[in-house]
A and B are shown apart, each in its own frame.
Chain A
Amino acid sequence: MTSVLTFLLLVHPLKYFGNADLTRRVHGYTYGAPPIFDKAAAPVFEGHLTNVVNHQDLVPRINYGSLKDLDLAIVEFAKNVKY
């Protein structure tokens, strides 16, 4: 959510604030936020967003790539486990 709001504030003309320079002062801090943007969005956030990820917290890592990793890990793991 914070990522979205920060994004909207950054790409918006922000005429509500009367001064587009104020956009530079917007900063979002997220704690364990799930990923919702792709890599192409990263330049928009540069210098405006700090995301805290606690070690291997599942939520901020749960995207299509990590789910594919999990799928591969399960398959690999199952090969080495005897029931």
Chain B
Amino acid sequence: MQVLKGTLNMVESLGEKAVYFVIDKFTGNGDALQAMVSCLNNLTEESKKLGKAAQFKYLNGYNILQDIMMDHNPQLVFGPSSNKPILSPEQEIELDQIAAECNFYCRFAAGAYGDQINYVFSGKNVLKALDPNDRDDEFVKLARIDPQQLVYSDWEADALNPAHCIVVLKERKEVMLVIRGTAQAGDVVTDLVANYVSYSVMVDEKGVKYLRINSGELKIKEEISGLNDSKILNADDRNVSSKHKELINGKAHAGIFLAGIELYKKVRSKVNYKKIIIYILTLFF
């Protein structure tokens, strides 16, 4: 009961702030960023006061609460996770193939974290994670590739430039853009640097898809305008007679979207291969 009580206290606080944060964003109140930063600061300060045993209890209790949230609440918006679809034998085989693919590629995603991923999960030599050796060497070792197959890397992340690298696997005729997930403070900021933008995917007379910006911040508009010479239109362009789908309308993680655009612009000139595979591993440490 103590575990659940502590968990409830913590999650109630976090949940309330998180919900208000989202609502705040939806309603366009400019205090959302400050509220989130304040929330993170409070959590950081509170966690410093806890011992490892208490942290473990909280995490364990939080997991229990997630189970309750997913499986035992009849009012769930998306329904309980126990509502698993029934798969046919063919679908089972397809699922196994997908799992094998994901298993193969995950070592690249994990490798993007370097040795720190081992330190964190093993609980040993954690301080070494703060002073990494050659990041390229660490990636090559963890991804189990030849050094020549790593053709480009940039491990210094900031808000609009996530750590990433490019790997070429000639025998598979694949080029991979590997993007590291959250590992540094700058990665967290990525999610907080932009507001939302509303898009449409347009289809022209030849069936070519392109983006149309419906609304959004001017900065984002300018960033996207740099992507293409002529296919991106302004919101007030009414001379387009194409069907469209509404995309990204007030959803979270808009900053990630903006950073993705930045990265796209950066790497597109470096990539000219027949197949591109892109990865991401998102972990919150």
Contacts and interface: CB of A to CB of B under 8 A. Distances in A.
A59 B276 contact: no
B120 interface: no
B278 A2 contact: yes
Interface in B64-96: 65-70, 73, 75-78, 81
Contact of A66 (B12, B77, B98, B231): B77
Contacts of A9: 264, 276
B53 interface: no
Contacts of B259: 1, 4
Contacts of B260: 1, 3-5, 8
B18 interface: yes
Nearest to A59: B282
Given A43-B245, A50-B98, A83-B5, A34 B279 contact: no
B105 interface: yes
B251 A72 contact: no
A41 B246 CA distance: 8
Given A1-B179, A31-B282, A32-B282, A74 B12 contact: yes
B256 A36 contact: yes
Contacts of B249: 38
Interface in A11-65: 11-13, 16-17, 20, 22, 25-38, 40-41, 43-44, 50, 52, 56, 58-60, 62-65
Contacts of A50: 98, 101-102
Interface in B88-125: 98, 101-102, 105-106, 109
Interface in B224-262: 227-228, 231, 245-249, 251-254, 256-257, 259-261
Contacts of B16: 71
Contacts of A40: 245-247
Interface residues of B, number: 72
B109 A73 contact: no
B274 interface: yes
Contacts of A72: 73, 75-76
Chain A interface size range? 35 or more
Given A65-B78, A73-B68, A16 B8 contact: no
A13 B228 contact: yes
A56 B81 contact: yes
Contacts of A36: 248, 251-254, 256-257
Contacts of B254: 36
A35 B251 contact: yes
Interface of A: 1-6, 8-13, 16-17, 20, 22, 25-38, 40-41, 43-44, 50, 52, 56, 58-60, 62-74, 76-78, 81, 83
Given A27-B276, A31-B109, 20 more contacts: A1-B162, A1-B179, A4-B264, A5-B179, A11-B209, A12-B211, A13-B228, A26-B277, A26-B278, A30-B279, A31-B281, A33-B282, A34-B282, A36-B252, A40-B245, A41-B248, A52-B106, A68-B19, A69-B75, A76-B75
Interface of B: 4-5, 8, 11-12, 15-16, 18-19, 22, 26, 63, 65-70, 73, 75-78, 81, 98, 101-102, 105-106, 109, 162, 177, 179, 181, 191, 201, 208-211, 227-228, 231, 245-249, 251-254, 256-257, 259-261, 263-264, 268, 272, 274-284
11 contacts: A1-B259, A12-B210, A12-B211, A16-B268, A17-B272, A44-B201, A44-B247, A56-B63, A62-B18, A67-B22, A78-B12
